[in-house]
A and B are shown apart, each in its own frame.
Chain A
Amino acid sequence: MLYTWFKIFNRIDFNALGLVSKTYTLNLQGIGQKDVLVTKGITYGITYDGVFISVGLNDLNPFSIDDRAIYVDNNNDVYLGIAVET
């Protein structure tokens, strides 16, 4: 499955905020304005369109489920993947 990846946040920057969760309002290219809820727990998660996906779930990076994916790179940038074709 091919995904379009959008950088949502950086883990180090998010940690510095001292918050448990934060809503990022972003204008995603080709999709439009969306609210993305970032939540910090044992790991980091993103809630997008009502679906929560977690970084590194099942030790998979990127982790994907259905038409969503999440990936963290070596710079601690966290990306949301949205499927473009099935």
Chain B
Amino acid sequence: MLGGLDPVIIFQFSKLAGTSIGSSLSRIPVLSQIPLAVEMPPIPVYFSERLFNIVIVSAAKNVDIETSTETLATGKTPDINQKGIQSSVSINIEGNRNSIALTLLGSLVDSVYDKVTSKEYSISFLYGSTTVFRGVLHSFSSETIEGTDKLSVKIIISKGAKNPTKDNPINDVPGSNVAIPGG
């Protein structure tokens, strides 16, 4: 619960701006920045037991940091080198297998799967003090609970900024059938 509201996961899809849009906008003198991505309306999914028959069983936050200690030949205090591995939030959900929200969640994750390489999505999650803003999907799994009509879903969302970039267009190179090209 966050301020009396149900926990919510928000999917935000975007579409990379085409180069033609960028070149057109660059002619506007007052524009300070050319947008790389066009954001689409956010899609919230509320984890509401009352409305959708789903409930968050647990939510955990994990931070992994690779740490190595370098001892020195001088015998002084060793140096510590650190490198971030992952900062993630793990959410376990249970709900009725006919729940609209769970069906929607599954289909949204399928849509995210197509866009993981192009980075045209982000996921935010708000659940009390456990929050992720503009995170990325790390994993998703769902399974039925034997002997019941319930579904158990596990979602892991990783924190981390990501900037979608437009692939460089492939240049067309004309060929010339002459003895010596160029000038």
Residues in chain A within 8 A of chain B (CB atoms): 2-8, 25-31, 33, 62, 71, 73-75, 77, 79, 81-82, 84
Which residues of B approach A to under 8 Å, CB–CB?
A: 168, 170-178, 180-183
Report how far A55 CA is from B178 CA in the complex, Å: 18
Q: Please report the C-alpha to C-alpha distance between residue A38 and residue B102 in the assembled complex, in whole angstroms.
A: 51
Could you jot down 19 A-B contacts, CB within 8 Å? A2-B177, A6-B173, A6-B175, A7-B181, A8-B173, A25-B170, A26-B170, A26-B172, A26-B173, A27-B170, A27-B173, A30-B175, A31-B175, A33-B170, A71-B181, A71-B182, A74-B183, A75-B183, A84-B177
Summarize A's interface: helix, strand, loop or mixed. Answer: strand
Inside 8 A of A81's CB, which chain B residues have their CB? 181
Which residues does chain B contribute within 8 Å of A28, judged by CB atoms?
Answer: 173, 175
B178, closest chain A residue (CB): A5
Q: Which of B168, B173, B183 is the most central at the interface, judged by chain A CB atoms within 10 Å of its CB?
A: B173
- Cβ A27 vs Cβ B172 within 8 A: yes
Provide the residues of chain A in CB contact with B171, threshold 8 Å: 26-27
* B170 pairs with A73, CB closer than 8 A: no
Min Cβ gap A33→B in Å is 6
How many A-B pairs have beta carbons closer than 8 Å: the answer is: 55
| Interface of chain B, main secondary structure | loop
CB neighbours of A7 from chain B (8 A): 173, 181-182
| Nearest 8 A/B pairs, CB to CB | A73-B182, A5-B181, A4-B175, A29-B175, A79-B181, A27-B172, A6-B173, A26-B173
Closest to B177 in A: A4
Chain B residues with CB below 8 A from A6, complex form: 173-175
Using Cβ atoms and an 8 Å threshold, which residues of chain A touch B177?
2-5, 84
Chain A nearest Cβ from B113, distance in angstroms: 26
